[in-house]
C-alpha cells in the first residue's frame, strides 16, 4: 500500500492512533489497545521524617 497512488497513512505513536485515507477520500482510524495497564503517577512531596531511633551500630 505504501506505493499505491492516492493512499495516505498517518501514525501517531504517542497517542496510538493510525489513520488511513483511500483514493476516494474515505478515512479509517484505528486506536491501539494498551498492552499493560497505565502506571499510577508518582507524587512528589516532602520526604518522610527520619527514624528517631539511631542505628544499633
pLDDT per residue as tens, the chain (57 positions): 667 889 999 999 888 899 999 999 999 999 988 788 877 766 666 767 777 777 777
Predicted pLDDT of residue 30 = 94
Distance between CA 51 and CA 35 in Å, rounded?
Answer: 40
In angstroms, the CA 54 to CA 38 distance is 39
Q: Is 18 exposed, middle or buried (0-12, 13-18, 19+ CB in 10 A)?
A: middle
Amino acid at each position: 500500500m505504501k506505493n499505491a497512488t492516492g493512499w495516505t497513512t498517518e501514525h501517531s505513536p504517542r497517542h496510538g492512533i493510525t489513520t488511513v485515507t483511500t483514493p476516494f477520500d474515505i478515512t479509517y482510524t484505528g486506536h491501539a489497545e494498551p498492552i499493560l495497564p497505565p502506571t499510577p503517577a508518582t507524587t512528589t512531596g516532602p520526604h518522610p521524617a527520619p527514624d528517631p531511633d539511631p542505628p544499633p551500630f
